[in-house]
Every structure is written in structure tokens, then in C-alpha cells.
Chains A and B, each alone.
Chain A
């Protein structure tokens, strides 16, 4: 049972304390309830651009990083389609420094033109480096709109294109801040060798006087279930043809999440997995193959992706993947197969929980999802999964009408 104490400030900020007496380092994690899903379709990439701007100085503190470094600390952040997360790690004696910094930028950003100008360029370079200048880098920019026709998941966190980022104005930036960054929209998780009294004191001292802003009510229409097969081919300068097959499934909080997770393990986790042995080792149709889930909070995807070996046609490759997917509808020949993925999950969970940062992040996720009371249930949920449930998941998920496929064709020369 993870050691947790939870309380709320008057302004709506949720605070959770996780005590860990073994580490000299404390972790302060602030997760905001805003992600790419909350963007205007004509102003995408904003939540991520904003994450960068949050390091550009706040009303009372011109530079975020320096005072934190001075206190022996380090910080980072990430944005995805669902949330934006900021975390600081520093010697536990200096915990107050992180409270001071995080609270000031929640109170008010500095909003300097220079900061916007520079971070725009930095994000544009990131777009190039990670998505445009890498082989297969823009695959998801092409696949998402095929799957999601109306839902905001149709664009990636980096944005639909560079122009949206290049054209962002200061007014839009300020508007975004006041709409999404406020105590009522955030969860603060503190982990380390300190006490609940101290965490309460620091929370009240630094966050207590931040005014509650208007609670952002998310109103996103769910993407309707898919009813027909969708397909797209793109040409890119890549060394091998590749295929990406996506199937709609339940979101992170659903039972399907766990079923999909174990299914993807059975299919492609490690060198004993089905797809690896059939498609890479035995038939050599692929040089690599991977099955995984996206765990979106609004909607989930089960994805199979791989690179085709030379001379293998698209039809052969697709057919081979479908055969493996359809096998999941049949009863399992070996009961050890399900046991092994459950045992592997147990081992990896224990290793993962060694890290204070991982534990703190997990708490923040569960609180913001509204399922903190289920945080200790993970192992049981995986353990309780039966073969029959996996079969039912396969029947429901692995259907042509539920599938969007992207094929990347390599251009010559």
C-alpha cells in the first residue's frame, strides 16, 4: 500500500504527500489538467509551446532554473494529449525552494516577448529534429487524422504543423494561461523524507493566496465508434517500407486498458513473444514488429507497427499481422503464456517503484484521472485477467471495421 496523505486548499488545489524516508532527494510534481486535447484546432501545439514558456520567468522570479540549481535542484516537464506535467527534484532540506518557484509561475507568468520569440524557435527546432528530420518521424502526424475525424486526438502534441506555432501571439498565450493554469486545475504531489505538517505548511504559505480561477469544464465530444476500414499510403525517404495498424479500444481507466496491455505483451514483448517469433524469426517478413497501446485518457488505441523486410509486399505483411491478431480469438494452447506476462509485470512493477519520481508521477496521474482510490489495485487487475477475457477483447477489437492502417512506402534513391 503506497503511503499517501491527501488534502485540498480553499482555492481548489489538490495536494498529496507521499513519505519516503530513504532518499536524500525530494520530488515536487505539479500536474495541470490541460493537454493537446484542449487546444483550438487552428492553434495546435499550444499546450506544448506553453510548457516551454513556463520556464521563461514568472511575475516575481525572472528565471526559473537558476534559483532551483542554486538549491541543488533540477527540473523538467512534459506534455501529452491529456495533461501537462512539471517536476522538480532537489535535496529535501531545500524543499521550500520548489514550492516558491512552482507557486509563483502558477500565480502569474512573466509573459515577455523575448521568451515567446525564443521558445517559438526552440519548439520549431524540436518539430524538425524529432518529427521531420527523422525517418518515420511524421508517421503519427499522418495517422492520427485518419483515426480521429472530430476528436482533438487527431493532432499530436507537437501540433499539426509549424505554422500554428510560428503564428502564436502573446494575447493567445495569456488567454491560454488564465483559462488552464490555476489551482483548481492542478494536482501537487510531494514525495520525500519530510512530514505532512511541513507539506501542509508550505502548501498553505506558497499556494494558499493564489486566487481560484474559473474551473475549466472540458466538453469534448467522444469520437464515434469506427464503422469502416480506413487506409492511407505515404511516400517517404526511408530505408524500408513500414506499416502502422491502429485499432480503437477503451481509455486508460477502462478494463480494456489492462486487457490490451497484456495482449500487446503476449504478441510482442521480448523474444519469446508470438509476433516476434512468427514474423521476424520464422517467416522473416519483418525486421522488427511491435504491438502496444496508447493509453489515452479519452480513448485508447491498440497499435501494431513494423518494418517490412526487402521484397515483402504490403498485402503479405498485412495478412501476416491479421493472422496473428486473429489467433488471439482462439483459446490459448499454453496456460504458461498468460502466467509469464503476469509474472513479468510483477517484476517490472517492483523495479519501477524503486524510483521516487515514478511513484510520485503515478500518484499525480491517478488523482487527475479521478481514480486515486484504485492506485493499489494495479497488480490485482492484471492478476485477475482470464484467457476468456482476452479472447473477448480480441473479438471486439481486432476487426477490419475498427482498423486504420498507414503504409509508408520508401521512395527510390
Chain B
């Protein structure tokens, strides 16, 4: 048997996604339900347009989200938590720049009582002052720890330079902001962006009709339309910015620029380019800066898409003594993509890897629901993943070179390092 010869393998043919059923509840509230689940697990995500971009005061959105289940006139946060726990339920609070809400986990037989407890707590939440103080202390402690890490400091600076320090997408809190947040700010935001705002529901699991009826009744309480807010973008900064950090043994580096959204004609091909460049373990960046030079434990690149903006980024932490060398190598790899065609062998390998990734990312009901949420929130067609697959198949080495020349110009990138 010749062990040097690889066994035959097959290429994936496409993506087989299943989508949830669309159910319209009261007042236009939409429920997306995936019920082909082979066990008793039930996951319900309730999402509002209540992310940080909507706030009128810094930290307002984040703290309102933290305090969603902080207590009513009749129950303390602990009591609410006890009741949910008794049913074996879990809940998570979710927040990003665009969306905010709750996720509830339970079983077919317990999801209804868990839902009732959670939503009762949300609807009658009084935001107790003591709870706010406690959350401020905890968050401030976490903030201080994070502020010692070069990676965090670099991420913050990168965001500020990319979107502007005053922009909802680039804004960063300071310690003093934690002391300025008031209970009234949260009571206000809870009303305007949760109670008087329209949620969307994503439900994964087997549930009985009673539970759907429960959701119908609950949705009747929302008679407002969805809140809208669009972030205006400024021109980004470019150039090289370094912030010394005394005593640091690693430097964090972020390189990037504003980019396009998922509907842009170059989006799919750019994702292929990005994967080759820095999107998987065998990427150009990893092969050079980690596996060849040993400068880092990890380096990667990606395209992050928000509701109103997007950005391309390279991110890593390297030994302080090799910071400038590492940055040089990143630009060297960009130049290679611009000047040397990618071989068919490498191109095929990365395409195959990406086809495998599509399978991994759509494996099972929870993963399929995440794919659907992506389509839903970004207003993409249902054919999106198959379009993506086909576009990867059809993208040539020549096209990738053009994209590298068009979008990865050194003078259009910002380079930020801390440490």
C-alpha cells in the first residue's frame, strides 16, 4: 500500500438548507419556526432593533439589555431566576451594534412556563436601582480588566479610526461613562426599544399548539412598528498608528478598511480571496507569519458586516520585538495576491475547504436557523447560500488578482498597533 498517495475524495455539490416556517402572529410580529428537531430541545430567540446604534447615550443600550430581567414590583431578579431554573431553563441576553434581545432554552414540556416567566419579568420590569449599581460594578470590573489587554485596546482604537470616535459604530466607552448611566435612561430605553418596538422570533424545536397560541397572545401587546435607525458613515482614517504599552510582551495589530455588504457583486469572490489570504488555518497569513516565522499563536483576516456598514480586517497578536516585521509580512502577502496569480492547486484546495465549511455551518437545526437569520436580517434571497456556492465555483484566479488590486491598496488601509 502506497501511503504517499491520497485516497480519492468527492467534492460537495451544493448546500442543502432547510428553512423555518413563517408564521405571522398579531400586529405583524413574525415568528420563524424550525420544527424538524429530533429531540426535546427548544431554543427561542427574541430579537429587537435595540442594539447600541439606537442609543441616545453611551452604555444605555447595553445596560438596558443587562437589566431586562432585573425585577418587577412583585419579584426580585433572584426569584425570577429561581423560577426559570426550576424548570431547567436557561436564558441569555444578546446584544450587538444592531440587535438586542433574549434567548430562552428549554424542553418541549417546559418551554411554555419558562417563556411566561421571562416575558412577565420583561413586561413588568422596574429596573431596580440596586440591580443597576450591581451591574455597573460588575461591568466596570470587567472593563478594567479588558482595558489592560493590548488586543482590546487595539480593537477599540481600530473601530474609532475606521468609523469615527463619535459614530455609533466606532464609539468606545470610558470609565466615567459607567458612572453617568442613570436608571431613568434605562427605563426610557426599555419602553421605547423593547415594549414599544416590534420583535422578531426565531424558534427551533418541537412545541405544541398551546405554545404557539401563547406566542399569539403575547404578540398582541406590541402595536408599534419596528424602530429604524441608519448609521451615517464618515470617511475612514488611513496610515499607521502605534500606541506604546509599557510592559507589554505582545503587540496587538489590526489592519483594515470599510467595505461593502453581502449584496455587493464582489462579496462572494472577495470571501474566497479572504479565505486564501487569512480565513483558514492554511491561509497565506498563517503559513507565513505563524508557521514559517513563528511570530504569533494566531493571525486571521475577515469581512465583518453590520446593518449599515462593513469592514475588512486583519487581526493578530505578535511578540513585541517582531511587530514591524509582522506588519511588513502582511503587506508582503497582499502584494503577492496582487502580483502573482494563485495556482489552480491552491485555488481548488481552498474552494473545497469552503464547500466543507458550508456543510459544517448548516449542520443541524440550530445551525440552519443561523443561516436563515443571516438571510433575514441582511434581506438576502433564499437562494443566497447556493448562489454563494456557485460563485465560489466560478471565481477564477484572474478575478481574485483584480479584487486584490482593487480593494487591498496600502494607501486605503489603516494600520493600528498597541503594545
A-to-B contact residues, CB < 8 Å:
22-25, 59-61, 65-67, 69-74, 89-91, 93-94, 96-97, 99-100, 104, 107, 117-122, 124-126, 128-130, 132-136, 205, 209, 237-240, 270-272, 277, 280-281, 284, 287-288, 307, 309, 336, 339-348, 350-351, 353-356
Contacts and interface: CB of A to CB of B under 8 A. Distances in A.
B85 A344 contact: yes
Contacts of B417: none
Contacts of B105: 347, 351
B363 interface: yes
Contact of B88 (A59, A93, A100, A343): A343
B138 interface: yes
A330 to B, nearest CB: 19
20 contacts: A25-B360, A72-B359, A73-B353, A91-B10, A93-B9, A96-B8, A117-B294, A134-B149, A135-B145, A135-B149, A238-B148, A240-B141, A271-B81, A288-B141, A309-B141, A343-B88, A347-B89, A347-B105, A350-B39, A356-B363
A25 B363 contact: yes
Nearest to B350: A69
A205 B294 contact: no
Chain B's interface size range is: 35 or more
A258 B301 CA distance: 42
Contacts of B360: 25, 74, 89
Nearest to A347: B88
Contacts of B183: none
B9 A125 contact: no
Contacts of B43: 351
Contact of B85 (A94, A117, A272): A272
Given A118-B292, A347-B107, A90 B134 contact: no
Contacts of B317: 125, 129, 133
A117 B290 CA distance: 12
A104 B248 CA distance: 41
Contacts of B307: none
A288 B81 CA distance: 17
Nearest to B77: A271
A79 B137 CA distance: 36
B137 A287 contact: yes
Contacts of A89: 360
Residue from the set A71, A277, A347, A348 with the largest chain B CB neighbour count within 10 Å:
A347
A377 B108 CA distance: 23
Contacts of A70: 6, 9, 348-349, 352-353
A94 B10 contact: yes
B141 A287 contact: yes
Given A133-B248, A270-B81, A281-B78, A336 B86 contact: yes
B88 A344 contact: yes
Interface string B228-239: 000000000000
A340 B78 contact: no
